[in-house]
Chains A and B, each alone.
Chain A
Amino acid sequence: MARLTGTGLVADDLYLMSHHEVTGRPYLHHRAIGVGLAGALLAELVLAGSIRIWPEGVAPAGRSLPAGELARSVLALVVSERRRVPDWLAFLARSAERDVARRLEHEKYLTLAGSRRPWRTGRWVPVDPDCAFAPLFRAQAALDPGKPVTVAGATLAGLATACGLGSRLLPYGPKGARRWLDETVRQLAPDLRELIAQTQAATDSLLLSQRV
């Protein structure tokens, strides 16, 4: 059953933020959403203490296993071979939107609505618009020096801005929100900062090579 507190997973919150809370329509190009969600899936593993991220790549951090089938399959994948973060972002981005939507569907946050046009596939639509809008408030805390912010909330806000959701998020913050967000992200652990920077670079690369 959907709750206002959400699933507690960064990728789930980012998915809901990047789609309209009523219609389920995306706010960004699908490739950009994919890159953002790929970053969020890796961030979940960092937050769970399962992996470390370096400028050169991804490395297993210990024995702690993340909760959930999707996170465990991503973990098994990224520790199976040595690759740079941009490669993992590109690879995971291919299916991240669908994978996270299925996870949210399983948790009853989304439902697959059929299309009236037979040649088009259906669209995932939020079950409860309030629950779908709530992640925006969790990320909003990172924009306001007067509010307590969690590491997950700061990571969510950083990744959202990196993949192009800044114009959706920042209007909900006070004056100077962008500067405070930058400051909040600067205080994150080095591997989360690296991940956010790599996600931003991957999105910019898509934009400058006309792929979004």
Chain B
Amino acid sequence: MSKVQSQRTRPSHVSRALAADRLGIPAVLFFVLAGVAPLTVAAGVIPTAYQTTGLTGIPAAFIAVALILAIFAVGYVAMTRHITNSGAFYAFISKGLGRVAGVAAALMALLSYSCLQVGLYGAFGPGAAAEAQAHLGLHAAWWVWALGAWALIAVLGLLRVDITGWVLGVLLTAEILVILAETVSGLVHAPGGHIGFGTLSPADLTSAGLGTFGVLAVVAVLGFVGFEQAPVLAEEARNARRTIPLATYLALGVIAVVYAGASWAMAVHAGQSHVVAVAAKEGPGLLFGLGGGFLSATAQLLFLTSLFAAALAFHNVVWRYMYALGRENVLPAALGRTGANNIPKTASLVQSATGLVVICAYAVAGWQPMSQLFFWLGTTGGFGILVLLALTAVAVLAFFGRDSHGEGAWCRLIAPALAAILLTLIVVLAVLNYPTLLGVGKGDPAAWEFPASYAVVGIVGLGWGVLLKLRRPEVYATIGLGAHAATGQLASAVDEVRR
């Protein structure tokens, strides 16, 4: 009897072949981390955040945000099992809060990822200019180097994705090793051998009031951008129920440990009371100074490649979003068409054009690249991701509120509700304390213009969503389907004929 049963339950030749071609946990984890570009955060975001915000609770913020995102991920990955086009925030929001809200979320996501991508030129330009001046004796303005990187990314964005994926993989491994080495070196060579834990204390999260946490959380969430991409591989995963959640939690853990460790080591090495001043003076050198000569030189070189890799990764994220929306006809259909090698050239070129316009605008206006381009646009992108995370948490609640889909109370109700409350609180605190986040005075227009841009885009998206619902119901029916837009459009057309 057992023999008969084993024959019946044995997977078929087709099942075995399909399973062998699917991705396991290491592959999904690697995919997620490859888009994170750790040195960009460790050497770029963290020192600039210490300097701009004047707050020291950054290490604790990475741990706190990792815990909040872990709670968020419970409902997020649970919903992944029941929808198509998972991995894109707007797909979750379309399913949970309706397609009109989905269109608004899609445009907000485009703005967020675009800010994150374009902002990176503001760190690459000055970094490359300084390196070229120090080692090659070349003198050129930051924007010349930024334009060089932009041109290369514009070309690579039109090439095959597997080439860039391989390059990103090598860089990721080297970056994590260098950050860990810098961290260990910084802690081993702490001044006077004293290792303080103050910056890891939860008390530091609210050192200047509750609003401090909102500012720190926006900075910390920048480090985690990319973790939300794991569900995009749900259909390619060997066992989506196990592979996607595990890869998501592992990615959160790795990112939290690496960034909290690095930012803590910087504070220990410079001294908690001096870290803000040292960051203002040394910038990325705050991290590079933790290690010796060779390690420091390697880190400086990798910082540039990391910025470049991050800009390329976000460039690819933006065109994928545009492509999915073009396929659904939410954005012009030209964005959803591919050229040779299956690359959506129009979508890629549109993002390249955006980068060119922003770099030229900053160069002509003479605005500061590191703080006003890299940090301001970067944190604004991070803020947008926070808004989307909060909306997604509410969408998960609404989705499971209509039908439990067999999920337990923790996955469908408790964790999403907790995540929605915490993330909404962070968004509110961040809006109220945006001047601190940007390091500007309370009356500075930038402090309301940047967060308000999401409100404007959101309202435009809502309006567009309503128009699609009224004027183009066949397009409206496929919002949020992404790769499955083709089958959705067909089903919609068949329904129309039947009516």
**A55-B493 contact, Cβ under 8 Å, with A164-B338, A208-B232:** no
Where the two chains meet, the residues of B that have a C-beta atom closer than 8 Å to any C-beta of A are: 12, 14, 17-18, 21, 31, 85, 87, 160-162, 165, 232-233, 235-236, 316, 320, 323-324, 327, 337-342, 344, 482-487, 489-491, 493-494
**A91-B17 contact, Cβ under 8 Å, with A201-B486, A204-B486, A211-B236:** yes
Looking at chain B's contact residues, is the secondary structure mostly helix, strand, loop, or mixed? helix
Given A91-B18, A207-B483, A208-B85, 6 other A-B contacts at CB below 8 A?
A55-B491, A200-B487, A203-B342, A208-B232, A208-B324, A208-B483
Complex formed: what's the CA distance from A186 to B485 in Å? Answer: 16
Residues from chain B with Cβ under 8 Å of A81 in the complex = 12, 14
Where the two chains meet, the residues of A that have a C-beta atom closer than 8 Å to any C-beta of B are: 27-29, 32, 55, 77, 81, 83, 87, 90-91, 94, 162, 164, 166-168, 186, 190, 193-194, 197-198, 200-201, 203-212
* B483 lies within 8 A of A204 (CB): yes
| Residue of chain B at shortest CB distance from A203 | B342
Complex formed: what's the CA distance from A87 to B482 in Å? Answer: 18
| Residue of chain B at shortest CB distance from A166 | B337
Complex formed: what's the CA distance from A21 to B386 in Å? Answer: 50
| Residue of chain A at shortest CB distance from B333 | A178
* A201 lies within 8 A of B483 (CB): yes
Residues from chain B with Cβ under 8 Å of A194 in the complex = 487, 490
* A32 lies within 8 A of B342 (CB): yes
* A208 lies within 8 A of B14 (CB): no
* A29 lies within 8 A of B483 (CB): no
Residues from chain B with Cβ under 8 Å of A197 in the complex = 486-487, 489-490
Q: Which 3 residue pairs are nearest across A and B when measured between Cβ atoms?
A: A200-B486, A204-B483, A205-B483
Complex formed: what's the CA distance from A77 to B14 in Å? Answer: 9
14 pairs, A vs B, C-beta closer than 8 Å: A27-B340, A28-B340, A81-B14, A91-B18, A167-B337, A194-B490, A198-B487, A201-B486, A204-B486, A207-B344, A208-B320, A208-B323, A210-B161, A212-B341
Complex formed: what's the CA distance from A208 to B235 in Å? Answer: 11
Residues from chain B with Cβ under 8 Å of A166 in the complex = 337-338
* A209 lies within 8 A of B342 (CB): no
* B232 lies within 8 A of A209 (CB): yes
Complex formed: what's the CA distance from A168 to B337 in Å? Answer: 12
* A212 lies within 8 A of B18 (CB): no
Shortest distance in angstroms between B257's beta carbon and chain A's nearest beta carbon?
25
Shortest distance in angstroms between A163's beta carbon and chain B's nearest beta carbon?
8
Complex formed: what's the CA distance from A90 to B490 in Å? Answer: 20
Residues from chain A with Cβ under 8 Å of B320 in the complex = 207-208, 210
Residues from chain A with Cβ under 8 Å of B21 in the complex = 90, 94
Complex formed: what's the CA distance from A205 to B236 in Å? Answer: 9
Complex formed: what's the CA distance from A32 to B344 in Å? Answer: 14
* A204 lies within 8 A of B161 (CB): no
Residues from chain A with Cβ under 8 Å of B337 in the complex = 166-167
Determine which of A28, A55, A207, A209 lies in contact with B487 in the assembled complex, contact meaning CB atoms within 8 Å.
A55
Complex formed: what's the CA distance from A164 to B342 in Å? Answer: 6
Residues from chain B with Cβ under 8 Å of A198 in the complex = 486-487
* B493 lies within 8 A of A208 (CB): no
* A209 lies within 8 A of B236 (CB): yes
**A87-B18 contact, Cβ under 8 Å, with A186-B493, A201-B486:** yes
| Residue of chain B at shortest CB distance from A162 | B486
Determine which of B316, B491, B494 lies in contact with A210 in the assembled complex, contact meaning CB atoms within 8 Å.
B316
Complex formed: what's the CA distance from A113 to B300 in Å? Answer: 47
Residues from chain B with Cβ under 8 Å of A203 in the complex = 342
| Residue of chain A at shortest CB distance from B481 | A201
Residues from chain A with Cβ under 8 Å of B487 in the complex = 55, 194, 197-198, 200-201
Residues from chain B with Cβ under 8 Å of A168 in the complex = 340
Shortest distance in angstroms between B433's beta carbon and chain A's nearest beta carbon?
36
| Residue of chain B at shortest CB distance from A199 | B486
* B342 lies within 8 A of A28 (CB): yes
Q: Which of B18, B235, B324, B487 has the most CB of A within 10 A?
A: B487
Residues from chain B with Cβ under 8 Å of A186 in the complex = 493
Residues from chain A with Cβ under 8 Å of B339 in the complex = 167
Residues from chain A with Cβ under 8 Å of B160 in the complex = 29
Complex formed: what's the CA distance from A200 to B236 in Å? Answer: 16
* A204 lies within 8 A of B485 (CB): yes
| Residue of chain B at shortest CB distance from A32 | B342
Determine which of B165, B342, B486 lies in contact with A207 in the assembled complex, contact meaning CB atoms within 8 Å.
B342
Complex formed: what's the CA distance from A55 to B85 in Å? Answer: 18
* B17 lies within 8 A of A29 (CB): no
Residues from chain A with Cβ under 8 Å of B323 in the complex = 204, 207-208
Determine which of B165, B340, B482, B490 lies in contact with A208 in the assembled complex, contact meaning CB atoms within 8 Å.
B482
* B482 lies within 8 A of A204 (CB): yes
* A193 lies within 8 A of B490 (CB): yes
Complex formed: what's the CA distance from A32 to B483 in Å? Answer: 14
Complex formed: what's the CA distance from A201 to B235 in Å? Answer: 12
Residues from chain B with Cβ under 8 Å of A208 in the complex = 85, 87, 232, 320, 323-324, 482-483
Complex formed: what's the CA distance from A201 to B486 in Å? Answer: 6
| Residue of chain B at shortest CB distance from A78 | B14
Shortest distance in angstroms between A211's beta carbon and chain B's nearest beta carbon?
7
| Residue of chain B at shortest CB distance from A212 | B342
Complex formed: what's the CA distance from A208 to B485 in Å? Answer: 12
Shortest distance in angstroms between B331's beta carbon and chain A's nearest beta carbon?
15
Shortest distance in angstroms between B155's beta carbon and chain A's nearest beta carbon?
18
Shortest distance in angstroms between A57's beta carbon and chain B's nearest beta carbon?
13
**A83-B14 contact, Cβ under 8 Å, with A28-B341, A193-B490:** yes
Shortest distance in angstroms between A81's beta carbon and chain B's nearest beta carbon?
6
* A90 lies within 8 A of B18 (CB): yes
**A210-B338 contact, Cβ under 8 Å, with A29-B160, A193-B490:** no
| Residue of chain A at shortest CB distance from B237 | A209
| Residue of chain A at shortest CB distance from B233 | A209
Shortest distance in angstroms between A183's beta carbon and chain B's nearest beta carbon?
12
Q: Which of B87, B161, B316 has the most CB of A within 10 A?
A: B161
Complex formed: what's the CA distance from A87 to B21 in Å? Answer: 12
* B235 lies within 8 A of A209 (CB): yes
Residues from chain B with Cβ under 8 Å of A205 in the complex = 235, 483-484
Residues from chain B with Cβ under 8 Å of A211 in the complex = 236
Complex formed: what's the CA distance from A29 to B162 in Å? Answer: 10
